[in-house]
Structure 1
């Protein structure tokens, strides 16, 4: 989902086309007629898409956290700024962990017994 390039101290991370597609697939607006579909299959697909997006966002945030922790040692003079960014990323990651956990529990609780 991410591709890294460059040396360890100057590494850059780029989003892959797969991740961009996953993130953008749910951001398009849709008409009311399309969102009223309440079939079990449609809802299940929507939950699985939400799970994929939350998982991708979480992986991105975990990559940020790793990078900030690495940069703390490399740039001690920028420690306050890096710590602030690190805390923000940890907070966002916690929210996405919660979201992902909730989605997984919903999927598990709504699966027919034959699929468990």
Structure 2
């Protein structure tokens, strides 16, 4: 090993990397095509309950609809929700007394999302203090 300027650890790492890369080529071609779950298409719309509390309405072709229904019809199948650790610190400048993205509001919205037949993911925000 000395004549190449490589020590034993470097040779071992290189061989391990080479073996790992070589094994990738042995995966069946159809393995990547079969997914046990669908691709998730969605957005963070944690603000919808706040908008609705302020009397916002949503329309498609002049017909009022639930915003989750609109998103689902557009191909969305997932919604990201924010959960603030201290929502009482004022998530909303317009309504600092409201605990938007707190535990109760987030649970209620998550149930609504599931009832609409969609997935949701939950993001915990610790930097809201």
Scaled to the shorter chain, the TM-score interval is: under 0.3
Q: Which has the higher strand share?
A: 2
Bigger radius of gyration among the two: 2
Structure whose residues are more often helix by fraction: 1
TM-score (norm 2): 0.24
